Amino acid sequence: MSPLYDPIAVPRILCFCGTEVHVEMMRKTAKDVAVPLVEYRTFDDLLSASLQNVSAVIISVSNALLVALLAVDTAGAGQRRLANVPVLVLVDGPQPQAIAESLALAFETAQLIENPSATALWSALTAILTNRRRQLERQAQELKDAKARNDTFLATLAHELRNPLAPLCTGIELLKQHGDNPSATVRVREVMARQLTQMVRLVDDLVDVARITSGQFALRSERVDLRDVIEEALETSEPLVKAARQKLDYVAPLTPLWVKGDPARLVQVVTNIVNNAAKYSHDEGTITVTPSVSEHTVIVRIRDQGLGIPTEVLPNIFSLFCQVNQTLERAQGGLGIGLALVRQLVERHEGSIEAESAGLYQGSTFTLRLPLYETVADPNPPTKTKAETVAPPRPLRILVVDDNLDGADLLAMLLEDQGHHATVAYDGPAALDAAARILPELVFCDIGLPGMSGYDVARKLRQMPALGNATLVALTGLGSKDVQAKAKDSGFDLHLTKPLDAGAMKDILGNVPRA
């Protein structure tokens, strides 16, 4: 049923008048507080109304009707519909305690007004509308702040992507000019490789944050010597540290620092902290990494002599998109996700991370704590070598499937340079035709192909008897657990995210079974 009065202004008040006693008082009070009153003839009509922009609901009932409403559990529907809306119940005469308790249970936000007067109703409505206005102001400010953070993030993302793109573009021009002079291009290639690695890490951090916040993230836990983690992280950070002529001060303990965790993610944690220290430290400064064991905890302290952290920023330093003032000297931007990712990864390892700083220009100390993994020492621990001699892979018949023409062609060129026979297809049907012709031993296939998806291509390839022993690798920018599971169900042996890591490709090429 339509309301007797259809309001245009907002906010508004919904009203059910089960008795005529309070109608005029409600209308006058609503007029006094300058809020439209929407009247409904039945309680069910009120419950079916839209609650958008509704500031309050007034229910005016007789004693008998109030008891009836509670008895038939109509209020149960009301509890579900009106859970977040203040409800004023007007009734003549004092109510038994049991009725008041039932009303409070039925309507969590209900306020019972017995023998209501115009003044009492005006006071109650004024308080509700004032709280509502404050709530809307807070929400508006939160939306404004969120928009500002989003705008800042997008602007910073564009800036951070342009930073490595600039030397990459310059490097390409230099290679065009001096490509026939290897000695002149060595430095150029080193710079381009370093900047490309920076871009990959940036994208990886963004993907990791998205996976963690959406719950699509899993750790591959094992027993790990944290000394190995620290050494690998310092090797990863070394180019950034050397570029600033900084010094890394680290002495490895003589005994293992066993923890249980994902080695790659722990390396990521330490690398992010050390990189952060290098970015915000002065040239020729020192970054000190000190591991220790206290009772049942492994502790790693990373100190720098850099800009420090302002007191007002320190409590939020691990929050997403939090950044130290960009106007400070040596502030090198960033998206404000590195330390947020550190905290989330550390907490997933049942550890903790803390930041300390005496203030600006006083340096910072980050303290990582992880549970000590106490176990019986392995009498024959595996020996770790810096480099192993691996026999070069035999020439393979490889099919590269990708609708990104440049990406597919360059990957095929790289494989050809390594002595393999690579064939390129840019869509699903062409891939199936090529596969029937060359009988590939290895297939790199994108998932997001036009028309026939990579999943469909994999299923069709698995139906070819001659390709029963072929290795199918899904190479895509999609890395969620759902995508990985679907890739496996479709017939892929491996799932890798773009860009293809050189080490991963080398492992794949060296382990393809003979046809």
pLDDT, tens only, 301-354: 999 988 888 888 888 888 766 666 543 344 455 666 778 889 989 999 999 999
pLDDT given at position 80: 58
277 in Cβ contact with 317 (< 8 Å): no
If pLDDT is split at 50, 70 and 90, which confidence band does 397 have?
very high
pLDDT, tens only, 21-64: 788 888 898 888 888 888 888 877 887 888 788 888 888 877 66
Residues 142, 144, 148, 149, Cα dihedral to 10°? 20
Please state the separation of Cα 273 from the chain's center in Å.
Answer: 19
Dihedrals phi, psi of 220, to nearest 5 degrees: -105, 85
pLDDT given at position 107: 66
- How many other β-carbons are positioned within 10 Å of the β-carbon of residue 228? 16
Query: Which has more confidence, 19 or 466?
Result: 466
Dihedrals phi, psi of 136, to nearest 5 degrees: -65, -35
pLDDT given at position 291: 95
pLDDT given at position 5: 36
pLDDT given at position 356: 93
CA distance 425 to 450: 12
Among 28-32, 190-194, 248-252, the minimum mean pLDDT is found in: 190-194
Dihedrals phi, psi of 312, to nearest 5 degrees: -75, -20
What pTM value is reported for the model? 0.52
Among 163-177, 234-248, 411-425, the minimum mean pLDDT is found in: 163-177
pLDDT given at position 332: 52
Q: What is the mean pLDDT of residues 156-162?
A: 70
CA distance 217 to 349: 13
- What is the percent of the chain where pLDDT is above 70? 81
Please state the separation of Cα 67 from the chain's center in Å.
Answer: 50
Average pLDDT, the chain: 81
Q: Is 50 exceeded by the pLDDT of residue 203?
A: yes
Which of helix, strand or coil describes residue 91? strand
CA distance 371 to 258: 9
Q: Is 90 exceeded by the pLDDT of residue 358?
A: no
Topology of domain 222-371, CATH: Heat Shock Protein 90 (3.30.565)
pLDDT given at position 274: 93
Query: Which has more confidence, 189 or 390?
Result: 189
Domain residue spans of the chain: 12-116, 148-214, 222-371, 397-510
Phi-psi region of 73 (alpha: psi -120 to 50; beta: other; left: phi over 0): left
CA distance 262 to 348: 10
Give the neighbor-by-neighbor strand order of the sheet with 421-425.
421-425, 397-401, 442-445, 471-476, 494-497
Question: Domain spanning 148-214 has what CATH number?
Answer: 1.10.287.130
Q: DSSP string covering 183-241, please?
A: HHHHHHHHHHHHHHHHHHHHHHHHHHHHHHHHT------EEEEHHHHHHHHHHHHHHHH
What's 512's DSSP letter? Answer: P
pLDDT given at position 375: 53
Q: 230: which 2 tokens?
A: 């620290």
What's 322's DSSP letter? Answer: -
CA distance 137 to 144: 10
428 in Cβ contact with 452 (< 8 Å): yes
Q: Is 60 exceeded by the pLDDT of residue 508?
A: yes
Is CATH 3.40.50.2300 the right assignment for the domain spanning 397-510? yes
Among 61-75, 139-153, 379-393, the minimum mean pLDDT is found in: 379-393
Q: Is 60 exceeded by the pLDDT of residue 10?
A: no
Q: 172: which 2 tokens?
A: 């390409």
pLDDT given at position 6: 36
CA distance 439 to 256: 49
Question: Domain spanning 12-116 has what CATH number?
Answer: 3.40.50.2300
pLDDT given at position 67: 62
pLDDT given at position 212: 72
pLDDT given at position 440: 95
Q: Do the domains at 148-214 and 222-371 have one common CATH topology?
A: no
Which of helix, strand or coil describes residue 427? coil
**At 292, which helix (H) or strand (E)?**
strand 286-294
CA distance 494 to 119: 73
- How many other β-carbons are positioned within 10 Å of the β-carbon of residue 268? 22
pLDDT given at position 490: 93
pLDDT given at position 323: 66
- What is the percent of the chain where pLDDT is above 90? 27
If pLDDT is split at 50, 70 and 90, which confidence band does 298 have?
very high
267 in Cβ contact with 236 (< 8 Å): yes
Among 73-87, 225-239, 486-500, the minimum mean pLDDT is found in: 73-87
- How many other β-carbons are positioned within 10 Å of the β-carbon of residue 441? 21
